[in-house]
Structure 1
Amino acid sequence: MGPEHVAQHLQASFDLSYASVDLVLAWEQGEAVPSRPELIALAGVLWCSPGELIDRPRTLREHRIARGLAPEEVALAVDIDVLAYLRMEEHEDWQGTERQSAVLADTLRLSMPDFVTITGREEELAELLRSAVTTRWQTQIRRVGKVVPLDKRLIEHTLRVLFEDYQWQMTATPAWRGTTVVGEDAHDKGQEFLARIVKHFWSRAGWTEL
């Protein structure tokens, strides 16, 4: 269905008289973001769910829209004033308590990686992981567990494997004809590994679709 037909259906079936071809194209090209009512209407025209119309959600607002929920519904579920909740969405700064965070995760059906990102813990996790692989990973088990509520044995295993992965990057990098390059090339590989440490952590812990 082309943009012209989409715009016509939005106007005729969903009372969006302002839905022009240019607006539909702006949505398609990422130059504008549809509101919740617009997204629901668009999904109705295209016979799909709202979540199918956006890329993998990253922000609190995107996750809410992907679930087809209004701000009022989420705010009520987590017991936060709706205006305060909307400010959190706008500034991408979740300020809920542990209990409210748990309810949020359940309401939006967040994966563990998404939960850590939305609650603003990703950078803290990255720092702990960098420390774990560059010093002694055993000292970071409890701290990582406070940021990421996973089974302790899984955290231990993941940190140990990450440590080994990083040390291998730093000590030896396979090169041409089976020889080994050490020094600057290994250092660069190590820095690249550290820059993607959170993604490596989730992958080793069992989450691959990031």
Structure 2
Amino acid sequence: MSRVRRPPSVRPDQPGPPFDAPAARRLRTALGMVPEQVAYGMRASYGLPYVSPDLVVAWERGVVSPSNTELTALAAVLWCSPGELIGRPQTLREHRTARGLAAEDVALAVGLEFLAYLRMEENDEWRGTDRQSAVLADLLELSLPDFVTVTGRDPRLAELLRNAVTTRWQAYVRPVARLVPLDRRLLEVALKELHRGYQGLMAATLSWGGGDADAGDGGQDFVERIVEHFWTAVRRQTA
């Protein structure tokens, strides 16, 4: 492939969303299209004159990822939503892009000045009020775990959960509830389960005669994935 570089004037200033390369190839194949047809559609209909078949193939192979503008045009050519070409979104910008929404529209809907909202996206630091957060979650159809991640609460949640499993979990029900809007009883059960799992792991590892080093390795792995373990425990209670 010799023409996979974008002209300097059109290279994106910001990274694009997490691109699902196999999905792009699968959708193109299902439509009976070849890369040349995709490239032509993006050039002719969406004002991207530099898009070549080689660039389309590079996207599908995961060699490069499309920018936000390129992703939107590619989705239109493939008759799908941008979300169908995106891996699991993590950031506010990625969730917005997956919904095919413009930043201006999100800012207007949540009641923020456009530049203020754009800074939040760029810094990956949501600073909206509770009301604005609720509107954002509804607009972007965020699950509760995604909402916590997008609003920047994951680090604090992880800290609280680590303390809960290594000390007395009961003391952390209220602090966790301030971050995660869940029923108190559900939180109590989830934290108790996490505490039991961590303490059981530590006790079992020590009983194998591995010593503190082995116990520390097992415990470290557990706490590094503590947020993931927390949401798994919550899902078990709500299933």
Whole-angstrom distance in 2 between the partners of 1:132 and 1:121: 16
Give % identity.
60
Q: TM-score, normalised by structure 2?
A: 0.78
Please tell me the root mean square deviation across aligned C-alpha atoms, in Å: 2.0
Whole-angstrom distance in 2 between the partners of 1:145 and 1:60: 22
Name which of structure 1's ranges 103-112 and 10-19 shifts more when overlaid on structure 2: 10-19
1:35 aligns with 2:68: yes
Question: Which one of the candidate residues 223, 231, 234 is aligned to 1:194?
Answer: 223
Whole-angstrom distance in 2 between the partners of 1:18 and 1:35: 15
Whole-angstrom distance in 2 between the partners of 1:182 and 1:73: 57
Give the equivalent residue in structure 2 for 1:110.
142
Deviations along 1:15-43, one digit per CA (max 9) or x if unpaired, are: 4323223543454426344224x323211
Question: Which one of the candidate residues 107, 119, 127 is aligned to 2:159?
Answer: 127
Structure 1, unmatched stretches of 5+, are none
Tell me how far 1:182 sits from its aligned partner. Answer: 4.5
Question: Which one of the candidate residues 90, 100, 106 is aligned to 1:74?
Answer: 106
Amino acid at match of 2:98: A
State whether residues 27 and 34 of structure 1, in contact with CA within 8 Å, keep that contact through their aligned partners in structure 2: no
1:91 aligns with 2:91: no
Give the equivalent residue in structure 1 for 2:6.
none
Higher relative contact order (CA closer than 8 Å, sequence separation 6+): 2
Structure 2, unmatched stretches of 5+, are 1-27, 29-33
Deviations along 1:71-98, one digit per CA (max 9) or x if unpaired, are: 1110011100111111111111111111
1:52 aligns with 2:88: no
CA 1:25/1:60 → structure 2, altered by over 3 Å: closer, same or farther? farther
1:100 aligns with 2:132: yes
Q: TM-score, normalised by structure 1?
A: 0.88
SS of alignment partner, residue 55 of structure 1: coil
